[in-house]
Amino acid sequence: MRCGSLRATASTGPTGSPTASAPGWTHAHEKQRPRTEISGARQTRIIMLNAQSILSGESPLEALLACQPVLSRNQDVVAFDLLLDHTTPGSSVNVQDIQSAVPLVLESYARIFQQGRFLSVPSFVKLSPAMLFDEQLPALPRKQLILELVTGSEPAGPELAQRLARLAAEGHHIALGNYRPGRPDLDALLAAVHIVRVNSAELDDGELARTAEQLRQRGVDLLADGVANAQQFDRCVELGFTWFQGSFLSAATPVKGKKVSGNKLLLLEMLAKLQDPEATAASLEALAIRDANLTFRILRIVNSAAQGIRREVDTLSQAITILGTEEIKRWVHLFLVESEPGKPEALTRNMLVRARMCEILAELDSQPMPVHHFIVGLLSQLDVLMDIEMGELLEQLPLRQETKRALLSRQGPLGDTLADVEHYEQGHFDQLSQRFDPAFYEVAYRHACAWARQTQAELGDSV
């Protein structure tokens, strides 16, 4: 990962497997940036486990854990911001909790599928000044974690600057969170810091520009937090920020009068036909063969080893009969949410995570049709993907009224599940409905992230 564009460049690591390398920090400390690692093996078989199998097969954490993507200028995921909270009410997260979560972070959360390959990206972990002095802190992984100091209103003393300098000298990557201009005590910490997080929503344009210029002169990388929309993102790029976080990824920018067109229009026709109880494999085939790529992808899916078919299937009607209409419907929905030109892969990933987590929670809650919850989660950001206002978009989608109410106003059981998933992914753990043991949310989210990674690879393979 390289400062500026933050793009990963592949090189061969000590074991012979490809990893991403970059020049050292452009800073006083001579050490490497946290690296984006690339795994060599491709495992792209989608396995759908039921909720009870997932819960019985996973060890729950003693903490709730969600991951917010940190993006580069080209809107690739270059890191995750870990949102941690203790499952026990009134308890605070400590270094021991972080240590317990690290293996899962490295094995599951920090691994993504992006630009046609599996990557491992570093993660920001937030620390209070008191946690920074914990004796167990130096044992945390140096390459995969970025230690982010979050200060309050209390002045930062010289002992804090000395502690940061020591950790940096030991090879840890240091970020300063919640930076506010006009604080000399925070400026005194910058000599030991690599990344500074600035909340762009708290500063007016002039203050933001001055702050960015002053920090760039100190040789630190800038992370713009609180970026709410595409216009703010573009402005922060102009000001020299290289890391970006905020709701801009989920902010729709509707284009008036825009309609669903091209391949996605055919997919909508397929969904409408799949809703028809009179539809047959032959009638679905007649529709799908209008798009050679769609035909190829369905045949490739049904002939994959994951389906267990011993003979090759070479007609769509056979494929539809073997998979069944519900499975075909699931795949058509997945094709529908694939990235549009100019849209980041992180958006599709988040839509997939929502879909699977909604489905798992619905199964745990004994909802009658968990697949309907899957569809609601999957389509919940289709307006962002398509640049069409959600109300207008739903007029073009052949969906059940319950699904439309959930997407528009989070109403009904479908809306309740989607709201829970949205609260969890944003780290608003105190707003969860508490229908389940808190640890179940984390396990469901963990599995959904892994499933999304696997599904993105499978979608890429089926092109």
CB count, 10 Å around CB of 297? 18
Q: What fold, for 9-36+65-250? A: TIM Barrel (3.20.20)
Q: Looking at residue 83, what DSSP letter applies?
A: E
Per-residue pLDDT of the chain (463 residues), as tens digits, is 333 333 333 333 323 333 333 323 333 333 344 544 444 333 334 445 676 676 666 667 778 999 999 999 999 999 999 999 987 777 788 898 899 899 889 988 999 999 999 999 999 999 999 999 998 888 899 989 999 999 888 888 899 999 999 999 999 999 999 899 999 999 999 999 999 999 999 999 999 999 999 999 999 999 999 999 999 999 999 999 999 999 998 887 888 778 887 788 888 888 888 878 888 899 999 988 888 888 888 888 888 755 566 678 888 888 888 888 888 888 888 888 887 778 899 999 999 999 999 999 999 989 988 989 999 999 999 999 989 999 999 998 888 899 999 999 999 999 999 999 999 999 999 999 988 888 889 999 999 999 999 999 888 765 5
- Give the pLDDT of residue 207: 97
Quote the pTM value. Answer: 0.83
Q: End-to-end alpha-carbon separation of the chain, Å?
A: 28
- Give the pLDDT of residue 324: 87
User: What are the residue boundaries of the structural domains of the chain, listed by start?
Assistant: 9-36+65-250, 263-461
Give bridge partners of residue 435 from the DSSP assignment: none
Residue with tokens 């974690």: 145
Coil/strand/helix, residue 408: helix
Report DSSP letters for 113-170, one per residue. Answer: EETTEEEE--EEEEE-HHHHT-TTGGGS-TTTEEEEEE--SSPPPHHHHHHHHHHHHT
Phi, psi of 25 (to 5 degrees): -60, 140
Residue with tokens 């040789």: 219
In Å, what is the CA distance from 68 to each residue of 120, 230, 379, 427? 15, 17, 19, 9
Q: Looking at residue 400, what DSSP letter applies?
A: -
Coil/strand/helix, residue 75: coil
- Give the pLDDT of residue 93: 87
Domains 9-36+65-250 and 263-461 agree in fold: no
Looking at 3.40.50.300, 3.30.70.100, 1.20.1440.130, 1.10.3210.10, the CATH number of the domain 263-461 comes to 1.10.3210.10
- Residue 392 CA from chain centroid, whole number: 26
As a three-state string, the secondary structure of 324-383 is: CHHHHHHHHHHHHCCCCCCCCHHHHHHHHHHHHHHHHHHHHCCCCCHHHHHHHHHHCCHH
